[in-house]
Amino acid sequence: MSEQVDLTTIPISPEGGNTNGDAAAAKDDKTVTVFHDKEHFNVKHPLSNRWTLWFTKPSSGKGDNWNDLLKEVITFETVEEFWGVYNNIAPVSELALKSDYHLFKEGVRPEWEDPQNKHGGKWSYQFKEKRNVNIDEIWLHTMLAAIGETLEDEEDGEVMGVVVNVRKAFFRVGVWTRTIGKHIPGRGDGDISGGKGRSPEKGKEILMAIGRRFKEVLQLPPNEALEFSGHTESAHSGSSRARAKMTV
């Protein structure tokens, strides 16, 4: 395994680039995007949300604390910054066993206990034939679907983040959602993304739509089931794979 780049040194603004696209364009009287020149561009393409990449390093087996294993890598908000990050970190296929990448909306920790996750769940799938799976391509497409906001409709507000787990017997890829398909009592009126005002039927419909889109991203055949489980059930079972509440 090649040595992983020091994630704190990732250049998210390539040399010659300028985060103030308008000023640069005005100065040069020419708009240069990453599609024209991947290194010397002066205009960036903003994402709808800011995203944070997290990394879980393998446990040493000596009673490591979860907070010691989970590391916040970097936050980005443009297409160009995403590629700057992606091109400077180790691919999933080169990660050690028991490692994870988590890509979540800024301000949301990739933990069941996070206030924005604790009433939610996740769609997930295990790729057990590791040798026959291009996990790097699958994870890239999953991240692009998340930051491109194509896993849900704009008003749904369900997708919190995406995760990939590297284990001895499988790769697992998942999409975390804010709810399990229904509004959680006690949330503020300002939380329009918490399922407030939705019927259980509508909530389930939205989650099922996310599951179907995710299944397409993973390019799974129709006979392979993508499973949804709630974080609460996972916590109680002591496993990240609780009994499925829904499948697509």
Hey, what domains does the chain have and what are their CATH numbers?
A: 55-73+97-247 (3.30.760.10)
**Tokens of residue 188, six digits:** 């503020």
**Tokens of residue 17, six digits:** 């680039």
Label residue 26 by pLDDT band (50, 70, 90).
very low
Residue 59 burial (CB count, 10 A): 13
- Determine the straight-line distance between the first and last CA of the chain, rounded to whole angstroms: 36
Task: Check whether 171 has a pLDDT greater than 70.
Answer: yes
Instruction: Kindly report the average pLDDT of the chain as a whole number.
Output: 82
Q: Which tops the pLDDT comparison, 23 or 35? A: 35
Lowest model confidence (mean pLDDT) among 131-145, 180-194, 232-246: 180-194
Q: Is the CB of residue 123 less than 8 Å from the CB of residue 173? A: no
Residue 202 burial (CB count, 10 A): 14
Cross-strand bridge partners of residue 126? 172
**Tokens of residue 73, six digits:** 């890598």
pLDDT of residue 237: 60
